[in-house]
Amino acid sequence: MQRPLFLLGLAIWLLATLLLRFAGQHLLHPPHVLRTPLLFLVSFLLMAWLARRLCSRLGLPRSEWPAGAISLALPTLLLDPFSSAFFPFVFPNMPAGVAGVFGGWMLACCAGALVGSLAPRGSQA
């Protein structure tokens, strides 16, 4: 595990969770045929870019980027199942019906980070 990336992932998770707790009602809405897939796609691409950028900035050899992306995504993968299970308590400002959208969004973000770490050399961050 790449400790600096794990700690960055934890900080990102904490900040994002706090932002969603207080302003998530403006971002997550009941499943919408266009808005939800667009949110997933944009988040996937941003996380792919962020994982590559952070691995590069920390000077990790390319062979360690997948481990770096796992470390970055690990806080979300470990903690957001609880956020989803206790959604009305963690995010009282959002309807419980968007818990599934939230869970899907988190999976899209983590998938983006993992795929970003595997992108070919020619598309370096």
Whether 106 is in a domain gets the answer yes
**C-alpha–C-alpha distance, residues 11 and 8, integer Å:** 5
The confidence score (pLDDT) of residue 125 equals 46
Enclosing domain of residue 74: 1-6+47-86+95-120
Whether 110 is in a domain gets the answer yes
- Between the alpha carbon of residue 107 and those of residues 41, 57, 60, 123, the distances in Å are 11, 24, 24, 23
Number of domains composing the chain: 1
Whether 115 is in a domain gets the answer yes
Whether 42 is in a domain gets the answer no
Whether 53 is in a domain gets the answer yes
Per-residue pLDDT of the chain (125 residues; tens, 9 = 90+): 889 999 999 999 999 999 999 998 888 877 778 888 999 999 999 999 999 999 999 999 999 999 999 999 999 999 999 999 999 999 999 999 999 999 999 999 999 999 999 967 654 44
**C-alpha–C-alpha distance, residues 65 and 51, integer Å:** 8
The confidence score (pLDDT) of residue 77 equals 97
**C-alpha–C-alpha distance, residues 17 and 78, integer Å:** 13
* Dihedral sign from CA coordinates of 75, 103, 117, 66: positive
90 backbone dihedrals φ, ψ, rounded to 5°: -70, -35
pTM: 0.89
The confidence score (pLDDT) of residue 122 equals 56
Whether 111 is in a domain gets the answer yes
The confidence score (pLDDT) of residue 26 equals 85
Please give the torsion angle defined by the CA atoms of residues 17, 18, 24 and 25, in that order, rounded to the nearest 10 degrees: 130
Whether 65 is in a domain gets the answer yes
